[in-house]
Structure 1
Amino acid sequence: MKIQELSVDLETYSDVDIAKCGVYKYAESDNFEILLFGVSVDGGDVVVYDLACGDTIPKEIMDALTDDTVTKWAFNASFERICISNWLKKHYPDKFKGYSIPEDPASKYLDPASWKCTMIWSAYMGLPLSLEGVGAVLKLQDQKMKEGKDLIRYFCSPCKATKVNGGRTRNLPEHAPDKWETFKTYNKRDVDVEMAIKQKLSRFPVPDFVWDEYHLDQKINDRGIMLDMAVVENAIAFDEKSKASLMVAMQNITNLDNPNSVVQMKQWLSENGIEAESLGKKDVAVMIKDTTGDVADALKLRLQLAKSSVKKYQAMQNAVCNDGRAHGMFQFYGANRSGRWAGRLIQLQNLPQNHLPDLADAREIVRTGDYDMLQLLYDDIPDTLSQLIRTAFIAKPGYKFIVSDYSAIEARVLSHLAGETWRSEVFAKGEDIYCASASQMFGVPVEKHGINSHLRQKGKIAELALGYGGSVGALKSMGALEMGLTEDELQPLVDSWRNANPNITAFWWAVDAAVKEAVTMRTTTEVGNIRFIYKSAMLFIELPSGRRLAYVKPKLGENQFGGTSVTYEGVGSTKKWERIESYGPKFVENIVQAVSRDLLCFAMRNLSHCFICGHVHDELIIECREDASVESISSVMGRTPDWMPDILIRGDGYDTKFYKKD
């Protein structure tokens, strides 16, 4: 009888650090191997094949691994799929079957279309992203074995050579037979737990279109993005040289042994008449404004030393694979409150912006390794290297990048959902939302480089800080005081923005009331085309796309101000499972970011025939041939889905040989 479904879990060995380098580099190591292969066929008993001790996987299971009609399940399935891809190519090349066209780097891996992931299912339900965490929250009868971490450390990574272990650099089954038997039990238990998660969540299936999005995400991770390793390696060397000279310059000014030491630096500042509570970047920047001479010079040097740009270059060096590309940089559903992606390894979502007018020239100086020229032309080498981080991502030879993004996507979605028509008219005319917002707030015309232009900055910071119920604290967090606004201006700015956007303000509290009613009455409520559903101790927010956001065990409680708010269980700011407090504007933020994400997904599906190799919230990076048109890509970005046909969105794009913020 033909196999319909496999549930798989692997235990593997590699000399590559997976935490630093990712699974793609981990699995392509010459020393990579699969030790244990735990599998259940069609929901049957789990069998562990001990490959390290000579077991072989039966032919019917081998065939099922490359049969696209057989569904393969795993927790964090990308690990299993990439490991099995490399293992097949190495040991059973005749069995391996890739996908896509040969020009596509994604063709080196098994097709993700027949793989499904219980970690993604858990994330869709608002649960943790770890097998142990999900098992604990769901109170499964069988839990992940706690001995696992020690066993993985013992068998799956190189060990330090000592006299006691006879100088070996790897632990094999024969070195600890009892531990090995426990390891096999651990492998079996993981498959059992994964299957129990599927069973427990079976009442809440993930929609097929979300699985389609996951499969597209896997293709993008498989494709990867090329790195210019000359830029990366020279940047690391330049940073080291620069830091050494900056340290000498600081020592000459301060006469300190280690001017990087917070204790020593605070003492030196105290001796020079400045009592510093903190030497954080923001605090040092403020101090520089109030100081002169040696103190100001020393603080400026400290700021340069604090630039952490080299860490991104080191992450690139760690992640780059044999094909010169970084793979696996995007975690699907990494932010389970909205379903947005999270960054992994190099963290494309968190790169410094570039403002150098001669970016290409600076990049070329670093690429060719001319440190003296860089030092001659640029005062602040750490800042220059920081601005060049994006440019280390390059299109492969004969290709270019087209980078296309949505203009002000969250502001557009929020305006559309709340029915704030004056804002939608601004977007329809292609006008500047910051100027329009300032004009609406202060009742005067505002032009970017014309009349009342000084008010645009107030409009901008209000737009960025206040759309989700933010107040004075949000303005401060956005840097309002550093931009020159005074304390006295902040509350009036909040009031002006809210008065100018009454429908958005009303939308916050309509959502707040709908959530409370759904949870209290255990019913379904609606605000516009957003539905709030209470079912089986879960709150679901159904978006226009049909996708649902999930909140575990919601209930009403008293908030810190003595009012009533909704709380639910989730992974909080402490990274632990805890009860989280929320309210209308916060739910609106989740909804707006989730809808913005769904619009980007719609564009990704429409452009799936292209080589998408990266994306950041509102932006796609596409590797394409030289004759590809920016206009055609941007026009596809501007298409609207059936579920929100009248949203005003616009794709803006440019082409480039290296990634940058245009």
Structure 2
Amino acid sequence: MSKTILLIDASHFLFRAFFALPPLNTKSGHPTGATRGFLSMLRALRRDVPTDYVACVFDPKGKTFRSDIYPDYKANREETPEDLKLQIPDVFDAVRKQGIPLIQVDGIEADDTIGTIAKSAGEAGCKVVIATGDKDYAQLVTQDVVLINTMGAENTWLDIEGVKEKFGVPPKQIIDYLALMGDKIDNVPGVPKCGKKTASKWLEEYGSLENIIENAAAVKGKIGDNLRDSLAFLPVAKALVTIKQDADISSQVNSLEDLKIKDPDVAALKELYERLEFRAFLKDLKDESKSGPIKTDSKKSEEDASDGLDLFSNSEEKEVQLAEFSQQTIESPDEAKHLVEEICSQSKEGKLPFLFVLADFKDFTYTLRGIAVGWNTGKNWFVPVSTNWVDPQGITPEEFTQIFGSWLSDPAFEKSCYDAKYIAHVLADIGIEFNGIKEDVLLQNYVLEAHRTHYIEKLSYNWLKFELQAEEVLLGKGVKKKTFSEVDILSCAKFAMERSYVGAHLSDLFCGLIEKDPNLQKIYREIEMPTSRVLFRMEQNGVLIDKQLLAKQTAELQAKASELSKKAETIAGEKFNLASPKQLGEILFEKLGVLINGKPSKKTASGNYSTSEEVLSELALDYPLAKIALEYRALTKLISTYTEKLPTQISPRDGRVHTTFEQAVAVTGRLSSTNPNLQNIPVRTPEGRRVREAFIAGPGKKIISADYSQIELRIMAHLSGDKGFTEAFKKNQDIHRATAAEVFSEPLEAVTPDQRRIAKVINFGLIYSMSAFGLAKNLNIDRHDAKNYIARYFQRYPGVSKYMEDTRQHALEKGYIQTVFGRRLEIPELQASGARKAAAERAAINAPMQGTAADLIKMAMIAVQDWLQEENLESKLILQVHDELILEVPDKEVEVVKKRLPEIMSSVAELHVPLIAEVGVGENWEAAH
């Protein structure tokens, strides 16, 4: 019986693991994400390819012979990220301690080492399996050599026929195929515009690269010109993409026995896994028999997953693997009706169904393509909605609404899902109101791990070790991206049902974890879930936009930008493109000789001078051209982001803009918005404020704006308990004037406007832990004076100083801080060093204030929406921006809303200082301020 050898392209998998997985760290701040991912891949490979012979092959440091052939070989590669560099010794250590031969030959790339071993092993009668995701290795495939890629949705094996099917050419033509196309990753030029189809077509017609070169004159069109222009380099390209099979690797490998797996050093591995905090791997050391798939035990999973702070540090250790599950596609209305009966029956027994929706979005409208419904028991159904599908099947939208509408809209039938707000929009477009949402996996995970990403693919892999097929694998991406209706139903069904099954497990798991912490329960049940429903209504409401006004503003802004461009050319003494950072840099630093801190500017790695906003802001005080460039950029950004773009985002259905509020993005709990982003309209310039004039009320209505007054400073007073700070707010004093009186030792009435300005900068600056250097720069004063201001501030407000220090210490010890209402904010960078740690400490001081402010505005939104519904008012919440709520209000309701709105906002919580909301009314958003 022939032997089998597994050759692992380890460098490829290590980089894939680093960029694919979240940036995990130990409690001490040491990065571990790539190590964990690589070792998981290695374990899966050893399970799928059982063999006594393995080589884990890494690329060496430094250049190889290919750099001598072509000096620009891999010249486009960026330097290895620092966090990955720190993990490479851990990976090497773990591989060796597992008894797996690790090969790294100086001057020889991993593919040449693998090619050489594969050839000699094949000649010795061995079967060879090469683990890689690199297409170059397809040239090595023979009857005895196959490839496996474990980094996709499923393990992919490639033999000779597989190579032909995937690339369109057999293995013996892969080298020529690669030479023609080139390799962007390795910076190997090929024939411009020659893709897979062209390369395989030429090789089918001419047989080899040499014959293609010989017949280049016969190839017509632009691609023929490109081929002829590339003739001189093609032989070099071929040499670069050819994997050597006769490399001298004798320094590390002389025979197959050198690659035999040894017994693992269990004691050393235990020490390593403890240091890296890999509990799942430690468990495997104790019980090696648990290597196959197991059925999910959600209660046990919750117990294993929750262990104090560890719940929030490395969630990927909660290893729950999934058993097989049933998949059934509904093909008729009768089957759909039976499914609804089954769902309702299960619901009455207390079993919560999980819902996942497939929909396409075009022309401001969602088109439902199907739903998957399942339980963690293994039952899963997919209901295709057949309008315009590539292979019509299932039920029509009308039948779907008739059969499923009652269940989906009935609050008595509770459901779990992923991103309920999105599903509500999809269903709303076919006339179904989505109710009865008990659990939302997106928000559950956001409450548990706000500092991580919350894509269901990531959650599935991190928590369940189940790799879901990525959407771009199913649909593609970019201009060639398909809609769900253009993909066959079986593929869509599998895609959706896997998500419904995984989602059901995640929902149960997260629910158990949240229930263990009353604070998290409050944040999830009383804030995040109700906020989702309010945001859905706001997104449905939309905001009316004045297109004509925006067109007028665009013309005015373009005229101003043109004037600035002419001024810049006058200063430069020549015409140039002010929008070009490269040309601006050359004018500033070469022609005009502008200095930065008294020294000439140096070019960046790109070969150009930096003209970033930070650089230009520093120069603007002394150099008019830098100031003009900043003003020009601000104007053109307003045009491209708002005055020109907003009209294109108006829905033709109602003439309104419907932004999407992102609820699970900001670590602090703050909301953001996209398509368009309405949170970042600049308000410090007249031009920016004028953009808000285009946000108008409908006929017979007004815009009402309610904004929390100095909310973060009030929260600072509450958190610090400082007597002077809290008393100023309780007496309703101007806090900046009161601060100025303390800092400058002046009576309140004697404070000058300039002193108040300085105090305002100090108040807000210290919230963000501004240093004396930062304060001096902000106020344009001497650093010694700034230091004295800060010292006097803390003398007058000792409670603030104590709070800041206590918060910093708590964050360093625990790795997290909490808002007033118990939202837990993880700050992993606290365990880093240098500038990263300093920035994390500043964030830790500010985060409780930002997070509490975020909680308050969400609580206000919920309370206001409840009041509007209870009173059956026609007024609608339409926007939320930072600490401000914006409503569109019928004239007949203006007085009642104007009176009641600030009362509601001020009473959503009790702090040590009063909450105050200021209200304005106007025909548009700007006028309401």
Provide the TM-score with structure 2 as the length reference.
Answer: 0.52
2:393 alignment counterpart = 54
SS at match of 1:38: strand
Between 1 and 2, higher relative CO (CA 8 Å, sep ≥ 6) is seen in: 1
1:647: which partner in 2?
913
Q: Which amino acid aligns with 2:495?
A: Y
Distance 1:114 1:196 in 2: 16
- Change in Cα spacing, 1:654 to 1:539, as seen in structure 2 (3 Å) is closer
Asked if residue 659 in structure 1 is aligned to residue 916 in structure 2, the reply is no
Match of 1:190 in 2: 499
Q: 1:434 to 1:43 in 2, by over 3 A?
A: farther
Structure 1 gap ranges (5+)? 17-24, 28-32, 90-95, 97-109, 161-168, 357-383, 520-537, 562-572, 574-578
Q: Structure 2 unaligned runs (5+)?
A: 1-340, 515-520, 602-609, 869-874
Contact 2:620 2:626 in 1 (8 A): no
Whether 1:596 aligns to 2:853 is yes
1:121/1:170 Cα in 2 relative to 1: closer, same or farther (>3 Å)? closer
Q: Which residue of 1 is the match for residue 665 of structure 2? A: 334
**Residue 145 of structure 1 corresponds to which residue in structure 2?**
469
State how far apart, in whole Å, the 2-side matches of 1:586 and 1:242 are.
Answer: 38
Matches of 2:787 and 2:826 in 1, distance apart? 33
Q: SS of the counterpart of 2:679? A: helix
2:881 & 2:626 partners in 1: Cα distance? 37
DSSP 3-state at the match of 2:374 = strand
Shift, 1:223, TM fit:
1.9
Whether 1:472 aligns to 2:772 is yes
Distance 1:214 1:612, change over 3 A: same
The answer on 1:13 being equivalent to 2:360 is: yes
Number of the residue aligned with 2:99: none
- Judge conservation of contact 1:406–1:651 (CA < 8 Å) in 2: yes
Is 1:406 matched with 2:708? yes
User: How far is 1:397 from its partner?
Assistant: 1.3
Answer whether contact 2:418 2:441 (CA < 8 A) is retained. Answer: yes
Shift of 1:404: 1.4
Q: Give how far 1:260 is off.
A: 3.0
Aligned to 2:372: 38
Percent identity, aligned pairs only, is 17
Please list the CA deviations of residues 39-96 of structure 1 after superposition, one character each: whole Å capped at 9, or x if unmatched. Answer: 226965221223332212776544312223223433222222211221x24xxxxxx4
1:323 to 636, 654, 677: 654
- Provide the C-alpha distance between the structure 2 equivalents of 1:539 and 1:273, rounded to a whole number of angstroms: 48
Distance (Å, rounded) in 1 between the aligned partners of 2:511 and 2:673:
29
Which has more helix, going by share of residues?
Answer: 2
User: For residue 414 of structure 1, what is the amino acid of its counterpart?
Assistant: M
Change (3 A) 1:116 1:215: farther
CA contact (8 A) 1:343 1:349 kept: yes
Matching residue within 199, 215, 220 for 2:533 = 215
Note the C-alpha offset of 1:544. Answer: 4.7
Instruction: Note the alpha carbon deviations across 1:609-638, whole angstroms, 9 max, x for none.
Output: 152211223221122122423751354146
Matches within 5 A, 1:494-509: 494-509=790-805
Task: Report how many residues are paired.
Answer: 534
Residues 446, 456 of structure 1: 8 Å contact kept? no
1:66 aligns with 2:409: yes
**What is the Cα deviation at residue 459 of structure 1?**
0.9
Check if 1:460 corresponds to 2:773: no
- Would you say 1:436 and 2:750 are equivalent positions? no
Q: State how far apart, in whole Å, the 1-side matches of 2:680 and 2:630 are.
A: 23
Residues 38 and 282 (structure 1), Cα distance of their counterparts in 2 relative to 1, 3 Å cut: same
1:304 aligns with 2:632: yes
Deviations 1:540-570 (A, max 9, x none): 84x554x432549x79957449xxxxxxxxx
SS in 2 for 1:604: helix
Match of 1:261 among 580, 586, 604: 580
Q: Which residue number corresponds to residue 258 of structure 2? A: none
Do structure 1's residue 271 and structure 2's residue 594 form an aligned pair? no
Shift of 1:468: 4.8
2:882 alignment partner in structure 1: 617
* 8 Å Cα contact 1:10-1:36 kept in structure 2: yes
CA contact (8 A) 2:408 2:436 kept: no
Partner residue, 2:128: none
Q: Distance between the aligned counterparts of 1:241 and 1:45, measured in 2?
A: 63
Distance in 2, matches of 1:647 and 1:43, equals: 51
Q: Which structure's CA Rg is the greater one?
A: 2
SS in 2 for 1:351: coil
Q: Is the 8 A contact 1:403 1:619 kept in 2?
A: yes
Does the CA-based 8 Å contact 1:637-1:650 persist in structure 2? Answer: no
Q: Paired residue for 2:422? A: 79
Q: Deviations over 1:332-352 (max 9, x none)?
A: 24323x322122223232111
Using the alignment, how far apart are the partners of 2:832 and 2:622 within structure 1?
Answer: 44
Residues 116 and 401 of structure 1, relative CA distance in 2, 3 Å threshold:
farther
Q: Shift of the alpha carbon at 1:199?
A: 2.4
Q: CA deviation at 1:183?
A: 3.7
Identify which of 546, 555, 562 aligns with 1:228. 546
Structure with the larger strand share: 1
Match of 2:727 among 425, 444, 449: 425
CA deviations over 1:396-425 (Å, ceiling 9, x no partner): 211111111121111111112211121122
Does the CA-based 8 Å contact 2:701-2:889 persist in structure 1? yes
Could you tell me whether the CA contact under 8 Å between 1:224 and 1:327 is conserved in 2? Answer: yes
C-alpha distance in 2 between matches for 1:229 and 1:340: 29
Q: Secondary structure at the match of 2:503?
A: helix
Paired residues of 1:220 and 1:614 also in contact (CA < 8 A): yes
| Distance in structure 1 (CA, Å) of the matches to 2:809 and 2:621 | 47
Code of the residue aligned with 2:446 in structure 1: it is A
Matches of 2:424 and 2:541, distance apart in 1? 14
Q: What is the root-mean-square deviation of aligned Cα atoms in Å?
A: 3.5
Q: Which residue of 1 aligns with 2:191?
A: none
Q: Quick one: distance in 1 between partners of 2:716 and 2:415?
A: 39
> 2: CA distance between counterparts of 1:36 and 1:469?
50
